[in-house]
Chains A and B, each alone.
Chain A
């Protein structure tokens, strides 16, 4: 019961057309871009509503209730509103950079989602250097925030973007070291193969393998990625009480919507990476009983992947309303003086465990 024998109908069909000059890859890229854009737009629209509902329920409120049943169309209405709002360019802003900035984080989020295996055959591209590629793309999103804050010609934006930049690059190192750990214990940098190294039962997922270390790496990844996503409780970049709305203070209309979309696109991407690396990606949670496993394998991989991502995102939202926000200096100290040394130790222990063969549960 495994996914080795898989075919990709659309990919095969495109290749079967026999298009010249590598146009088949162009068609593949176009279809992929449209799909990912759809996933991000639909996902973000839904997630904004879920986020508002979850936070409302945690705070004993109802949240949005007016637009559609249980307010489910609230974010659709918000998007329509943002679409007809004027994109204000403040005095003294650097126009070119100001318009370029919101597109960068969204493009970076698209690029990350392009290599995530959504299902055994659902993946836009599967580069053999998938894991370093994830780190590289993670670095691009920061640029959009930095130049957006600078171009706005607003002191709060500038401070917000610098804080954000310092925070995101710092926590990116933790994420990189944890992905390095996963590469080391699994021996692959290709994301589809990485999922397939977790075949078997639930206990074969990396979160349970490498006794204790897999779980530690998973928890550290969740903490670091929350900070990298600039999400509460690590949202000092847009701490409303201190620096207005941070780097996107001056953005209105679609400019703001792009930053917002990128934020949720990155949330989906981060949860996707966590699910791929630690929770078996598109593999079902098999328990080793043939009858049950057969039923679990009958469900498409996309469904399992979506369920894992949804669970992780709910975890991120829960996390948001559970912990208070640390100060800037505390946040930087947490990364450089605690998480980074711990992660380097984790990496060394991971190498030792692999060398000794203590990988399986």
Chain B
């Protein structure tokens, strides 16, 4: 568990270093005079129409959903992957191989379903 304790101390420090850099930048920077156009969003010099809190393509959500499914499922495979090699000698490997195959097939069926339903199409 030692490694995780070190990492827990490491996390806020890493964030602090990033924060300190931002703070120093803000402190040292030369502030220019405010004007009507200074803080306008840069949209290639065009006059801005409305703000950017707009509706966007739902396709992005579909990919995010698929990501969650596959990422979680790949996490489920880690325990098998971790012990697999050690079990080869004990003769448990064919059993594990079958388990793994079933899991990967179910995973692929999920992908095939999304593919068939057109979730992977970008238009």
Residues of A bordering B, CB below 8 Å:
22, 25-26, 28-30, 32-34, 36-37, 82-92, 99, 102-103, 106-107, 110-111, 114-115, 124-128, 131-132, 135, 139, 150, 152-159, 162, 165-166, 169-170, 172-173, 176-177, 180-181, 183-189, 244, 249-250, 253-255, 257-258, 261, 328-329, 332-333, 336-337, 340-341, 344, 347-348, 351-352, 354-355, 357
Given contacts A85-B29, A131-B78, A250-B41, contact A354 B14 (CB under 8 A): no
- A110, B10: Cβ atoms under 8 Å? yes
Interface of B is mostly: helix
Q: How far is the CB of B117 from chain A (nearest CB, A)?
A: 12
- The interface on chain B, measured as residues whose beta carbon lies within 8 A of the other chain's beta carbons, has a size of 75
Nearest neighbor of B94 in chain A, beta-carbon distance: A355
- A29, B86: Cβ atoms under 8 Å? no
- B14, A86: Cβ atoms under 8 Å? no
Nearest neighbor of B44 in chain A, beta-carbon distance: A244
Nearest neighbor of A177 in chain B, beta-carbon distance: B74
Task: Jot down 11 A-B pairs with beta carbons below 8 A, ordered by A.
Answer: A83-B24, A99-B22, A126-B3, A132-B75, A158-B56, A183-B81, A187-B83, A244-B43, A253-B29, A258-B21, A329-B123
- A173, B41: Cβ atoms under 8 Å? no
- B18, A84: Cβ atoms under 8 Å? no
Q: How far is the CB of B89 from chain A (nearest CB, A)?
A: 9
Nearest neighbor of B31 in chain A, beta-carbon distance: A86
B52 in the interface, Cβ–Cβ < 8 Å? Answer: yes
Nearest neighbor of A25 in chain B, beta-carbon distance: B5
- B108, A344: Cβ atoms under 8 Å? yes
Q: How far is the CB of B69 from chain A (nearest CB, A)?
A: 9
Say which residue of B17, B22, B120 sits within 8 Å of A254 (CB atoms).
B22
